[in-house]
Every structure is written in structure tokens, then in C-alpha cells.
Amino acid sequence: MQSPASQAAPTVDVSASFSFVDGAVIAAYALVVLVSGLWLSRRAGKNLESYFLGGRSLPWYMLGVSNASGMFDISGTMLMVYWLFVYGLKSVWIPWLWPVFNQVFLMAYLSIWMRRSGVMTGAEWIRFRFGDSRGARWAHLIVVVFAIVNVVGFLAYGFIGIGKFAATFLPWQLSADPVWNVNLYGLLITALTTVYVVKGGMFSVVFTEVFQFVVMTVGCLWVAGIAMHRVSPEMLAGALPAGWGGLAPSWRLDVDWSQVMPAASEKIAQDGWQLFGALWGLMLAKGVLQSMAGPAPNYDMQRILSARSPREAALMSWFVNVVLLIPRYMLITGLTVLALVFFTDELNAMGEGVDFELILPLAMKHFVPAGLFGVLIAALLAAFMSTYAATVNAAPAYIVNDIYKRYVNPHASERTYVWMSYATSVAVVVVGTAFGFMTEALNEVVKWIAFALGGGYTAANVLKWHWWRFNSYGYFWGMVAGMAAAGALPLLLPDQSTIWGLPAEVVSFPAIFAVSLLGCIAGSLTTAADDLETLKRFYRQVRPWGAWGPVHELVRRESPALEPNRDFPRDMANVGVGIVWQTALTAAGVYLVLRWWTLLAVSAGVIAATSMFLKVNWYDKLRDYPSDDPEVDVQSPSLAPGR
């Protein structure tokens, strides 16, 4: 759900709207976050599990709110406001690029499978799946490299993004040089965030993110209320271009800005969204594959592994959708409605160089009163700090647990590992901040990480769940081939944003996926299968569906009562219904602010019907472990080797 948004700095001066009350609100927010984070640090210093996973003692609803808070980033919100403004209701589908519905796959079955492993990181999960052979060590190292590259890239993105945001919205000039003013704000806010994250680990991250999410929700509802009060349905109807209110995907995008704002039509052509039906199909196919791969080794995976049980991991993924979508889209729609009615002329006056990401600061400057302005700034700061904190917490788990503890100092005390985690967190922040100073190339780097590198990750991580013969060498060579193809993409397509009139990052995904898939298959079939005892342990504990027949027969000889996982049809039915449910939640937040009551009632009916289906076909059937294997202790939340 986190978005690689454009990082162009807004040029709207909103400092005149800043009052003493706003400053007091922001200062109080920063103080509460810092003090609570440091106070909770005493619970995090016991051992690595306490530091990285909160001792697996945090309830699922707090983890769900924390995860939702981490997905509510500033730049992504500004980007989604621009999407809704330009593309209308069809913009609800655009986040499928990331894909937003990966949370539905996690909810339906993958969070349960992931949490059954009982491991601490994604790299440790690789050892659980492939064992400890030479190939497994290569696979382990390649996923650590992927995780670190991913984390550093997003830390760099977050640093410059928050610096530009703060320099725009806060009235204090830290430097006469505009560039250094941005960088100093970035350093100040990332330092504040780093203090409580490094010291408090997962406990601080989760508890402060719950508080931050409350602040964000207040800001969302307040802005939505202002829009609903200031804009009548008749005013809105007179400002909308033809086709703006259509939700159903059509072959060609039918939003006609030609008579209202020609620059918006040019922006649609530049983005490559005219053939919307083809793009929608590509996004769906890409999203399904990426979702079946499971979570990338980042903060989303850490929340799943932090859950108290497999069942609670699934409930956590469900709760992310419940608490995130409606408030966030109420904020997005409120800002968009204000812009459509009051700022169309001002945006038109900017000519061909119009920056649609100015909608958020424009709306805040003109419509947000003192006090609320500070709350909203605090809410958007909370959005950044949540995402940044979650990312920082994920990084040292791989470096300390998967490199230092495994290869450098395996017999150190738990206290030593915690202190190494402190040092590693600071080092990762420093590296990410250093990359953050490279502002010109940053957006392209983030797009490459989010889309091209994601394509290189997908094939190997789909096969690791579903094919017993897929081995550690196949994983290594599949990841290497995919990452190499992703690395070659900027060289093969320099400065090319579209291919065949469609976004280049989406069209290039099948090619990167195919290269990675060839590496997976070739690496697996030209080398021996992994250790059968490792495969049996993985299958017995995780119990995935897929091509596991030979391993199932071996396990069944030891446990005759053990049955194969026959839940594939039910899981896929829950995924399909869950995607409809998630989309209806998104649309409901939009329709509520627009006051399109009939369509809101339709969305509510869809939410109710899909919720009833999921209650019977998903919730009522959740279980930690299958009950047909006496060797699996269903009372134990962790059965991983070495634990």
C-alpha cells in the first residue's frame, strides 16, 4: 500500500496559516510520541524477540492499527488526491499497482502460513523452508540483500519526502538556503523518529503508531467534514468533468477534461492511462502474482511474525483494511472536492506546468482553521513517522539476526544483540539519509524498487509456497535473475515512462517475471532436491496447498491421519469476495464525502453481503494449526527449529 509518489516540492506558501495554537499542537504531539516511545523501551531490551517482535505479546488489533498507520504515508496521500482529482472514481483501482489487495491474500491464508513458521525475519524463514545447505545459505544471503536494498531505498525516499513536506508547512526557516532548509527538516524529524524506534523497538513502534493513527483519523474526519459543509452536491456537480463519477473499468478512460482543464488531459496521456481496460487487466494479473508471493521482507512481514498466533496474524491483516480505507479516502475525497470546486481556476492558471500535488497544500491554506491546521500537520507527520519507524525497525532484524548472529558472533548475549540492533538502526538511517541527499534521482530509484525490483522478487516467492521441488538454488538464481533484469531496466528504457501507451513499470513486469521464473526453474531442475527432512518439517508445520504430493506421502507414513490441505477453492473464493469487500470499503469513504447517498447505500449493501460471506467462509474456519497431526502442538505459537 505504500506509494512511490513524486517528490516535487510544493510551491504553495501555507506558513501564513500557521498560528501559535498550531505550533502548540505539533509540539505536544512530538513530546507525547518521544516520551511514550522511550518509556516503552524498557520492555524491548530483554532479547531479540522482544526488540523486533514485541515478545509476540501484542494483540492483533493493535498490530492491525500499527500496520495501517505505517501504510498511511504523506507522499502517497498527496499522490492519491491527484489521482482522484484527475481520474475520478476510476482512481480507486489505481492502487492495485502496488497491489493494495495483497492484504486480502494475507487475510485469507498467507498470514496464517507465514506465522506458523515461528521465525523472526523473512531471511530466517528462508532457512526454515530450504534448510542449511550451501544453496540455502546463498538463498538466505540474497533475501537479506534484497531486504536491505529495499529498506535503504524507502528510508531515502522518506527522508527527502518529509523534509520537503515540513519545509512547506512549518513556518520556521532553519536555513536561508531552500535546499538546506529541506535537508535540515529531514534530519530533525528523522532523528526524532530514530530515537524512539532505536531505543524501543517493536513495542515503541506499535504503541506510538496506535496513538499516531488516532491523530490521523481525527484529521481525516475533520477535513472531510469541512468539505461536506462547504460544498453542496449542486456545486460539485457543476465542477465535475464528464465521466468523472464512473467507477466501472472501461476499455478507454472516459474522463473528459478537454473543456475544463486541458492540462489534466495531457497528464493522463503522459501517465499512460488512456487504455484503462488493458491496464486494469495487467494490474490485476500483476497484483495476484505479487500477492501470492507473500509479503516482501519489510514492516508488513514483521507485523505478521509479531502476532501471538497464526489466527491472530490473519485477523491483523483483516483489521488493516477495516481501519485504514474509509478514513484515508475521506481525507483524500475531502481535499479533492475542495479543489474541484474552488481551485480549478487557480490550477488552470498554472498552464501546462500545473502540479496536481499542490491540491493538498492549497486546500489546507484556504480551508483549514487554526488548531485543526496543527492537528492535520501532526497527522501527516504521524503518517511519515509511522512508515519510517516501521521501516527502521525491520532493517536491523535482517542485519543482526541474519548476518551478525548467524555468521559473526553466534554465542553473544542477548543484551549484545540488542545493542547491535541499536547501532545497526542508526547506521541504516545514516545510509538512507545519505541517499536522501541525492534528490534528483530519488524518485526513479523508488519507482525501480517498488515495481521493477518487485517483479524480480515475485516468481521465486510464489514458488517457495507451492512447489516442493523448488529448491534453494532455484530460489537464489531466480532472485538473482530477477534483480539483474530489474537492474537492466533503467538502462534499456532510459527516461521512458510509457510503452505502447501504457505505464512502463507495469508493461515491463511480465518480462522481468519471466526472466526470474526461468532462473527459478533452471536452478531447481539442474540441482538436487532440498533435504527431505527439511521439506517434511516445513510441510507438516505450515501445511500449504499446491504441488506437495511426494512430501505429503512421506509425512503421512509417519502420521497416517494427516490430510492434505484442500482449502484452495475456499481460500480463492475468500480472496475474490475479499477484493470486492475491500473495494466497496474504499468506495464507501468516497461516496460518503461526495454525499452520493444511493451509491453509498449500494456500497454498504455490498460490504454487508461480503462481510457475511467472509464471516461464514473465512472467520468461522480460522485455526492456528490443523488438528490431524499429533506431532503438531496446536497450543504452541512457535515450532520453528532452534526455538
Domain span at residue 346 reads 15-437+565-621
Q: Is residue 197 part of a domain?
A: yes
- Please tell me the least confidently modeled range out of 161-175, 463-477, 516-530: 161-175
Q: Is residue 495 part of a domain?
A: no
Q: Work out the widest C-alpha separation in the chain, in whole angstroms.
A: 75
- Please tell me the least confidently modeled range out of 170-179, 200-209, 360-369: 200-209
Q: Is residue 443 part of a domain?
A: no
38 burial class (0-12, 13-18, 19+ CB within 10 angstroms)? middle
pLDDT at 342 > cutoff 90: no
Q: Nearest-CA neighbor of 226 among 34, 368, 414, 394?
A: 368
pLDDT of residue 116: 93
204-227 pLDDT, tens digit per residue, is 566 666 777 887 788 889 889 999
Q: Is residue 333 part of a domain?
A: yes
Q: Is residue 212 part of a domain?
A: yes
533-571 pLDDT, tens digit per residue, is 999 999 999 999 999 999 999 999 988 889 999 999 999
Of all residues in the chain, the percent with pLDDT exceeding 70 is 76
**Residues 12, 359 contacting (CB under 8 angstroms):** no
365-386 pLDDT, tens digit per residue, is 777 777 777 877 777 776 666 6
Q: Cell 534530519: give the residue.
A: 187
**Residues 52, 302 contacting (CB under 8 angstroms):** yes
CA dihedral 562, 317, 447, 504 (to 10 degrees): 70
How far is the C-alpha of 139 from the C-alpha of 297, rounded, in Å?
Answer: 14
Which triple of cell numbers denotes residue 155?
528510508
Q: What angle do CA 501, 283, 7 make, to 5 degrees?
A: 70
435-487 pLDDT, tens digit per residue, is 666 654 444 555 555 555 667 789 999 999 999 999 999 999 999 998 888 77
pLDDT of residue 593: 96
pLDDT of residue 639: 39
How far is the C-alpha of 632 from the C-alpha of 558, rounded, in Å?
Answer: 13
395-442 pLDDT, tens digit per residue, is 666 677 777 777 788 888 877 877 787 787 777 777 777 766 665 444
* Contact partners, residue 506, CB within 8 Å, separation at least 6: 97, 279, 282, 283, 286, 451
Q: Nearest-CA neighbor of 126 among 135, 139, 115, 114?
A: 139
User: What's the CATH code of the domain at 23?
Assistant: 1.20.1730
How far is the C-alpha of 217 from the C-alpha of 231, rounded, in Å?
Answer: 21
Q: Is residue 76 part of a domain?
A: yes
Average pLDDT, the chain: 80
Q: What angle do CA 225, 231, 235 make, to 5 degrees?
A: 160
pLDDT at 200 > cutoff 70: no
As for how many domains the chain has, the answer is 1
pLDDT at 39 > cutoff 50: yes
The SS3 of residue 117 is coil
How far is the C-alpha of 338 from the C-alpha of 361, rounded, in Å?
Answer: 11
340 sits in which H/E element: helix 310-342
487-497 pLDDT, tens digit per residue, is 777 677 666 66
Q: Is residue 503 part of a domain?
A: no
Mean pLDDT, rounded, for 610-638: 78
How far is the C-alpha of 279 from the C-alpha of 266, rounded, in Å?
Answer: 18
Q: Is residue 339 part of a domain?
A: yes
How far is the C-alpha of 248 from the C-alpha of 255, rounded, in Å?
Answer: 12
**What are the residue ranges of helices labelled H in 54-176?**
60-70, 74-87, 102-105, 111-116, 122-130, 134-169
Q: Which amino acid is at 398?
A: Y
